[in-house]
Structure 1
Amino acid sequence: MGVFFFYNNRKPRKFNYTPILYNPEEEERKKNLQDRIEKVKREMGVLPEEKPVERKDFKTEFVSQTRHLKKRKEKESSGINSFFANNGLLIIILVVLFAIFFFWFLR
């Protein structure tokens, strides 16, 4: 169990790893070579042309994958909401006030 002192706090050792077999120039050369090979294959017709990737909106994708959010969105888009769902708190307050009035003044 260690004891905490305000002075002489030990700092954690820093991570200082240098990879032995990594050469950034060689990695860049391999990447450039691979890109050139793909470009030549596309020009020859071996590989199909690259099509731009369609990016989908994250929010719409997330909503479409969850049941409860999908139901909520369908309810909002349809506009069909019951009277009690929209005014539930107001109805409860009116019932409580009526009960207070009934038991307080009509006793």
Structure 2
Amino acid sequence: ALGLECRSDDQEVIELIQKLNDEATALTVTAERTFLHKMEGGCQVPIAGYATMQEDGQVSLTALVGSPDGKTILKDTVVGQDPVKVGEEVSERLLEKGAKEILDKVKRELDA
């Protein structure tokens, strides 16, 4: 995904860059970013999310949280119309499975 920015009052540029927007990419990236935000993910945290568009127009997000040694992998998939809700739901499911404990341990180790 590529992000473009412009001044909020520059209508001419806004109209030009809107033509470059790919709606499917925007929806899938929104689901992935919502998941990463809810999980407080960054480049030091063992999490992953991959969203795709289904033929029926729904967003499918598969996400995982793993222990650094790879012995524990928590994975889930959520499908839905609203990419924000999809990202939030997959986060909630992984947290219910124990993702918080894994991530808290990783953060403690990074802070040590």
The bucket for the TM-score relative to the shorter chain is under 0.3
The normalised TM-score by structure 2 is: 0.26
Tell me which protein shows more helix as a share of its residues.
Answer: 1
Higher relative contact order by CA 8 Å / sep ≥ 6: 1 or 2? 2
Tell me which protein shows more strand as a share of its residues.
Answer: 2
The normalised TM-score by structure 1 is: 0.27
